[in-house]
Amino acid sequence: MARATASPPHNVPCNHLFSQVDSISESQVNSEPPRIKELPNRVTRGIPGVNYEPLLNSKTKYPINNFVFYHRLSRGNEALVNQLSTKSIPNSAQDVIRDPKWKEAMNEEMKSLQKNSTWEIVDLP
């Protein structure tokens, strides 16, 4: 069965796409689906479950500077490793929405995808 799709002109402004990122409220991000408790499989009965959940504000579980020896690195690579250790990657959508740099990065990525015609906007079926 043939499916007809209409390709938009390449110069269609995409501001309406990016405004969605700004319009997401924290209450929408904070809402979590209800958790359903599942019974363990027969193999794991009697074994206590893992209750560990890392803190969302921790940057990284295993910092690279604990495993890299600087004395063998060139100055450039040493600077790179030090920079990697100081960058934090968001652990949730909440963190992304709160950080203007991440919002800007998402908008740049969306613009790039549109510029390269990666996506084709079509009407819903």
pLDDT digits (tens, 9 = 90+) for 72-98: 888 888 888 777 766 677 888 888 888
Q: List the single range of 14-18, 23-27, 30-34, 114-118 with lowest mean pLDDT.
A: 14-18
Alpha carbon distance 36, 12 (integer Å): 44
| Phi and psi, residue 46, nearest 5° | 90, -15
This prediction's pTM = 0.34
Amino acid at 89: I
> So what's the pLDDT on residue 91?
82
- Give me the residue label for tokens 């408790």: 37
- For residue 92, give the nearest of 58, 62, 63 by alpha carbon: 58
| Phi and psi, residue 74, nearest 5° | -70, 165
Alpha carbon distance 10, 117 (integer Å): 8
What's CA 100's distance to the chain center, in Å? 14
Q: Residue 48 — pLDDT band, cuts 50, 70, 90?
A: low
> So what's the pLDDT on residue 56?
46
Side-chain half-sphere CA neighbours of 93 within 13 A: 11
Mean pLDDT of the chain: 69
> So what's the pLDDT on residue 116?
92
- For residue 14, give the nearest of 112, 124, 125 by alpha carbon: 112
Rounded mean pLDDT of 62-71? 70
Alpha carbon distance 53, 49 (integer Å): 12
